[in-house]
A and B are shown apart, each in its own frame.
Chain A
Amino acid sequence: MLMYIYLAITAFILVLVVVNMFRKKNNIFYQIDAALVMVTLILRLILVK
């Protein structure tokens, strides 16, 4: 059960990161920061790392 809660939180944060990235569409550095965070969140979400 804890695992599913963890995955739900991870997915929620991932969605927030993507939404924020689209909001700051003119700041390329912000977007790169968001991309770096997204890679680790995606790997956690699909239980690879």
Chain B
Amino acid sequence: MTFFLFAGDMLVMAFMVVLVVWVFMRSSDETIDEAARIPLEDEQADG
């Protein structure tokens, strides 16, 4: 049973990692840069 859980968990997690890496590699540099800058532009700047 534990082997089954382990194997299943490894497969699901490996799939998730591959999926995330794939989605991210398809994203443009511009999109990634915009996401990275979110904390720098998150408040009204006129105060």
Partners in one complex: no
Q: Give B residues with C-beta under 8 Å from A.
A: none
